[in-house]
Chain A
């Protein structure tokens, strides 16, 4: 029967609810700052919100959103190609293009719509999408919609990427290489310098999703491509407003003049309502702030260093390098579930990631650091992990 395939998911949820663990769809009942709130009845430090620069509670962004709602109303009630392009959307596109030093930018309603839409549109039947194995679901979804041949390469393995480019022969001219700046699960940075060099050697087009690296990497916060010094090699940069810019929405910028024509081929742009004026206004203000206040990025990395080092010293299996995403890998799903719940009870909210959402068969307790975290809050997060670890007979089994 049609709905039978959902029975196993319903069973898992019922099992978890019976033991009082509700990890997915946890309810945030109150937010008191960029780093604190009440989740599932627990007063917590928010350590799993991707709010890297702490912009979600910036008073200037809030004021911009309020003013825009007064001026433009609560919603656009239409798509960008119909009645949903307001002057605010155009202004933001111009400011994003300026931020990245290119001529073309498209603003989308969500980050998912941006990456999914661009992947689905740039490549088509007869083309090839060569994507990193650990790519976000929106990239896989776009690739599937594109009708292109989808080939994945081993995560951040440039030898494997090169083999696949070589095998493509003269088809590389019809190939879109898709990678992320910082990978969302383990927080590792793509080897963009090497990837750009391969693209130069073999051909093809390169799209970098800077969702987790915009505002985080690079001298001006433009992301991993800026940090690697390869912006001229990147054909398309996609990203989101829902992380470093503290709102919601997505974008794509490009040095290719044809982006303006591509805009009118992207279904996730054409057939959905545009972002609300309040969101666009807050993003415009946030973009100005992160440009003018690079010290936010410095604080973020100081906090990332503190958390990464603290959790590593506990003997936990953290990622390969210091990053604003600090993921603790745990072999067993039930252990991960129980640890997530205990952290919540100890006043710390992190993301629980279990297969198939995790990049391996293992589960993860994924933390994301914010510039807005105080050193005391970082200490509290580390202490909560230590307490949860110590409460177990053999500690959290490290990977």
Chain B
């Protein structure tokens, strides 16, 4: 099962395709810092789902602000 760091690395990989020339950290806020629209957030989620062959419930999204939040939630749900 992927661990936290693997999730973080893959989130970075996807974010680089959405937002070029931006430095990311685990504390980068997806909406307030990167300015991702709701559609871009869903695009990120779909990439993660396809890559790890998982389904991510929309219910978790209100608790996700940063790259780290998302990676932690993924690890919690999927090991």
- A residues engaging B (CB < 8 A)? 133, 143, 149-152, 154, 163-164, 167-168, 355-356, 360-361
Contact = CB atoms under 8 A, between A and B. Distances in A.
B79 to A, nearest CB: 14
Contacts of B39: 355-356, 360-361
Interface stretch (B4-12, B53-61, B68-76): B53-61
A150 B59 contact: yes
B59 A167 contact: no
B3 interface: no
B30 to A, nearest CB: 16
| Closest 3 pairs between A and B when the two form their complex, measured CB to CB | A150-B58, A149-B57, A151-B55
A164 B42 contact: no
A163 B46 contact: no
Given A167-B53, A167-B54, A149 B59 contact: yes
A189 to B, nearest CB: 23
B53 A163 contact: yes
A163 B51 CA distance: 12
A32 to B, nearest CB: 39
Contacts of B38: 356
B13 interface: no
B59 A361 contact: no
Contacts of A163: 53, 55
A356 B57 contact: no
B25 to A, nearest CB: 26
A355 B55 contact: no
B46 A154 contact: yes
Contact count band on B: 10 to 19
Given A355-B37, A361-B37, A151 B57 contact: yes
* Secondary structure call for the A interface: mixed
A150 B57 contact: yes
B37 A152 contact: no
B60 to A, nearest CB: 9
Given A151-B57, A154-B46, A356-B39, 10 more contacts: A133-B42, A149-B57, A150-B57, A150-B59, A151-B55, A163-B53, A163-B55, A167-B55, A356-B38, A361-B37
16 contacts: A133-B42, A143-B58, A149-B59, A150-B57, A150-B59, A151-B56, A151-B57, A151-B58, A152-B58, A154-B46, A164-B55, A167-B54, A167-B55, A355-B37, A355-B39, A356-B37
A321 to B, nearest CB: 23
A168 B55 contact: yes
A356 B39 CA distance: 8
A154 B47 CA distance: 11
Nearest to A167: B55
Nearest to A131: B58
Contacts of A152: 42, 58
A149 B55 CA distance: 11
Contacts of A143: 58
A170 to B, nearest CB: 15
A282 B44 CA distance: 47
Nearest to A150: B58
A151 B59 CA distance: 8
A181 to B, nearest CB: 23
A164 B39 CA distance: 20
A355 B37 CA distance: 9
A284 B76 CA distance: 53
A361 B36 CA distance: 11
Nearest to B40: A361
A234 to B, nearest CB: 23
Contacts of B54: 167
Nearest to B38: A356
B1 to A, nearest CB: 14
A150 B55 CA distance: 10
B67 to A, nearest CB: 22
In this complex, the member of B38, B42, B56, B59 whose beta carbon has the largest number of chain A beta carbons within 10 angstroms is B59
A4 to B, nearest CB: 14
